[in-house]
Amino acid sequence: MKPVTYRSIWISDAHLGLKASRTEYLYDFLSHTESEYLYLVGDIIDIWKIKRGWYWPEINNRIVRLVFEKASRGTHVIYVPGNHDEFFRDYNDLYFSGIQIKLRAEHVTEDGKRLLILHGDEFDAITLNNKWIAKLGSEAYDLLIIMNHWFNWVRRKLGFGYWSLSKHIKNKVKEAVNYISNFEEAVTHAARQHNADGVVCGHIHHAVITDYDGINYANCGDWVESCTALAEEEDGKLRLIHWLEESADLIDGVQQHEDRNRDRCMVTAN
């Protein structure tokens, strides 16, 4: 299948090292997309989780190798570390095998919009001021992901498709909704202070593109639940990629194309 080409791609919160990370989908996404710019917007590697117990399957190595291969082929790869991989923040402005590490980055879209790129944890009061509470919250989130896994196992056995229990809970709980709203407002305020037209971030695992008083706010989402990424089209427009759905559509499209070609060959042969 021919790769889908974008001008720029942003991914965040892959949490490699976490058993719940949907690494097969991430590898599939990176294998079937190409871009001039690839931004890794933090929490790509979950060092918090790795410190508590080593979990690093071969698929993680394949993902890392693929990113390095993209860099060697000319893709501009920029790594903006988050709080789960903050170890790399000590290496700001370092180039490592073609990958540049930046605490914050700036991107100019094809249509001239200036975007501030950051992970976003610095605008999370819990993460910033109470790291032990943040880590406790991370453990609670891990438990929710495990519940989500078994919930969907039962759904599959009953013939139903995937449905995110954890995402539903986050969207319904008032405190979670307020937390997301406050985070978005704080991040867009920072973009305005930097005279940027927009901001791209991660951290809260909530993929969205929206407008805050003229500032374009975009969140990449995550690769633990939603399997989402942000992309810039060749004309500079931003869009969210929901890989769970779009990869299935691509496969269906390729299959239909192959079926049509086979039918033509059969008609010609007859």
Q: Which domain holds residue 52?
A: 4-269
CATH of the domain at 118: 3.60.21.10
CA–CA distance, 259 with 151 (Å, rounded to integer): 36
Q: Where are the alpha helices (DSSP H) in 21-84?
A: 23-31, 47-52, 58-72
Beta-carbon count within 10 A of 144 CB = 17
Question: pLDDT confidence of 254, banded at 50, 70, 90?
Answer: very low
Q: Check: CB of residue 114 under 8 Å from CB of residue 195.
A: yes
What is the pLDDT at residue 133? 40
Number of domains within the chain: 1
Amino acid letter, residue 18: L
Q: Confidence class of residue 155 from pLDDT cuts 50, 70 and 90? A: confident
Does 131 have pLDDT greater than 80? no
DSSP 248: H
| Per-residue model confidence (pLDDT) at position 143 | 64
Query: What is the token pair recorded at 76?
Result: 């501009």
Tell me what percent of the residues of the chain surpass a pLDDT of 90. 63
pLDDT exceeds 90 at position 189: yes
Side by side, which strands form the sheet with 99-101?
Answer: 95-96, 99-101, 76-79, 33-40, 4-11, 228-232, 238-242
Q: For residue 223, give both structure tokens.
A: 């690769």
- Unique residue bearing structure tokens 């929206």: 210
Inform me whether the pLDDT recorded for 265 exceeds 50: no
- What span, in angstroms and rounded, lies between the C-alpha atoms of 161 and 55? 28
At 17 the pLDDT is: 96
Estimate the crossing angle of helix 174-193 against helix 165-172, to 10 degrees. 80
130 band by pLDDT with thresholds 50, 70 and 90: very low
Residue 38 is predicted with a pLDDT of 99
Average pLDDT over the chain reads 84
Give the residue, 139 or 182, on which the prediction is more confident: 182
Contact 165, 143 (CB under 8 A): no
Which has the minimum average pLDDT: 18-27, 80-89, 123-132, 198-207?
Answer: 123-132
Angle ∠(94,45,231) on CA atoms, nearest 5: 80
Whether the pLDDT of residue 216 is over 80: the answer is yes
